[in-house]
Structures are given as structure tokens and as C-alpha cells.
Amino acid sequence: MIIDADYRFDSCRGFLVLEGVNGAGKSTLLKKIASYLSAQDHLVFETLQPGGTPLGEKIRTIVLGEQKRELLSELFLFAADRAEHVSAVLVPALDQGQIVLCDRYYYSTIAFQGYGRGLPLKQVKQVNQIAIQDLLPDLVILLDLDPEEGLKRTRARTNSDVDSFESEELCFHEKIRKGFLEVADQCAEPVAVIDAQCTEDQVWTKVAPFIDSWLLGVKK
């Protein structure tokens, strides 16, 4: 469900997810949101998928590495990371009253493995449903960017993780972008679609009203 900044949030747990194609600026925006929330005395927990747990770090090395693997194996590796992350990290942090900011969630698997790899969407969604254990975010911020620009940004980095997905053809990333936009339109969770073609400050100007609206609904 794509929303605007006037959307009214109610009874939120404090779980926000950032999504987008590679190079869209998720990590940078996550740090900006965390700083903004911390300045308002919120307890903030930052995490990511894949990764975020000892098991997840090992899975991250595998799925972002260059070694070829079967498509179903890739799907289940991401699901294993997600199931571990939900149980061991996300739910405990939320139960402790922390605001959780997560770089990627199940939407990425639908976009990458479903739309990008071409696995049946019904199958991908079923696996994800099991992995997330009914834990859905209050708000998803989708940074929408031309994949070609995103790849230019990632290749310009000097200190980023090696990511085998970035070496895929441009058409693969275009399918992913289409997948993200279709998921945003079809899912039940509120999704703010943000044009990420502009500068970091301009992106933040667009995102901040959504954060403020969301905070009004977060349980104290």
C-alpha cells in the first residue's frame, strides 16, 4: 500500500524497514534516521538482512559471494537468515521497547529472487511468510532509483562489501526495481516510495515527514 506523508499510523511497535535497488542509499538514510530518532531520546536498534546474527553473517558471506548456487538454495538461505534474525534479534529488541531500523526485509527476496531470478512469486511469498513469523513493519521506506544510476554509485564505492548481485546484467536490476514497485503497491503494509535520484539532503527532506507521522503512532 503506497502512502503519502499524511497517512495516520496507529499502535505501531516501532519497526521500520528500508528497501531499494543496490546503490539507492539505504545505509546512508538508515544512519540519518537513527540519528534523528536518537536526538529525540528514542532507543534505536540498527540492523540489516542478510546478517544481523552470527548465523546471518555466515549466510551473508555465502549469498553475496561469487559462488554459483541453485536458485531454490539461494531462496532458502535468505529465508534461514530472516527466520534467525526475526527470532533472535528483531522480536527481542521490539519487546524491549527499542525502535528497530532494518536495512532490507522480505520485500527484497520477492524483488530479487521472485522478479529478478524468476522463481514463482507464490512460492517465494510462502517461504517468506514462514520466515517472518507474522512480524511485519509499521512502515517501509522504498528508495526508488534508476538501476543504472544505482550500479554507478555502488561501483564508485571503495569500502563496501563485495556483492555478487551487483555484477548481474542491467536487465536483472530493472526487473528488481519493477518488483519493488509492484510489491509496494500490492502489500498491506504502508510503503513510502521516495525518489532517490536526488541528493542525500533532498531525500531526507522527503523522508522526514513520513518519520514524524510514523512516530506519532509508535507506542510510548
Cα separation, 125 vs 176, in Å, equals 15
Q: Note whether residue 4 is domain-resident.
A: no
Does an H or E element contain 98, and which?
none
Q: Note whether residue 6 is domain-resident.
A: no
Q: What is the pLDDT of residues 94-105, one digit of tens each?
A: 999 999 999 999
Residue 22 has pLDDT above 60, yes or no: yes
Q: What is the pLDDT of residues 66-87, one digit of tens each?
A: 778 899 999 999 999 999 999 9
pLDDT at 11: 92
What's the CATH code of the domain at 36? 3.40.50.300
> In terms of pLDDT, which residue wins out, 179 or 152?
179
Q: Note whether residue 1 is domain-resident.
A: no
pLDDT band per the 50, 70, 90 thresholds, residue 129: very high
- If one counts the domains in the chain, the total is 1
pLDDT at 38: 97
Q: Note whether residue 207 is domain-resident.
A: yes
Q: Which domain holds residue 97?
A: 15-217
pLDDT at 153: 86
Q: C-alpha cell of 197?
A: 535520484
pLDDT at 158: 56
Helix axes 121-132, 71-85, angle to 10 degrees: 20
Q: Note whether residue 39 is domain-resident.
A: yes
pLDDT at 160: 57
Beta strands per DSSP E along the chain? 15-20, 44-48, 99-103, 139-144, 191-195
